[in-house]
Amino acid sequence: MTIHREGYLIILIGFIISCLLQFGNYLLYSTLGWYWLYVLLTLGIFTFFFLILQFFRVPNRKAVFSATDILCPADGKVVVIEEVEETEYFKDRRIQVSIFMSPLNVHANYNPISGIVQYVKYHKGLFLVAWHPKSSTDNERSTFVIKHTNGQEVLFRQIAGAVARRICYYVKENQEVKTGEEFGFIKFGSRIDLFLPIGTKIDVNIGDVVKAKLTKIGELV
């Protein structure tokens, strides 16, 4: 396991704050002698710092897949599988698969397929809770489209949630990417939507807990 580079500054700030809080906690204990309060605050401070480290963790995983597999781009829970009208890029009917990421999930994001990046677009927006139906179109979000070598295109979208306040991505149009390579990161609670061609074989169900690079979402046909 490693720590994601997006977390370096936040972890440093968190460490400094934790040290200052602990120093103040010690002064409080040495002045008032409230041992129980000292212990509770100490546990709270270390829990706070542990949660920051936990959020920015990146597990070591090896993606195993076939050429037409669609790999899960993020850790989380499948909350939507339905046929919808995709209005930003395709402007036609697609199968939407949505994955909700809680603050406790790994938040690094990975390419679901290999191919050429056809489209990258960042949208400013609201910060509705990530499971809200309108979060896909109204929240701050970034949209990407990859064209597979078989001609099929897959759209996927990073969506900020009520807590997430920064979407990071590292790909650009016309870039060649590989399945399972990191393309971005969302800080503190969020969602990923995939829009797949009609007829795509789907291998997950609503309510499934999925893992980035390990879970197969489906297969292009």
For the annotated catalytic residues, the residue numbers are 190
Give the tokens for residue 29.
């204990």
**7: which DSSP letter?**
G
C-alpha separations of 159 from 103, 171, 196, 199 in Å: 14, 16, 17, 25
**Do the Cβ atoms of 161 and 190 come closer than 8 Å?**
yes
- The Cα 131–Cα 18 span in angstroms is 32
- The Cα 115–Cα 111 span in angstroms is 9
- Nearest Cα neighbor of 159 from 198, 129, 201, 181 is 129
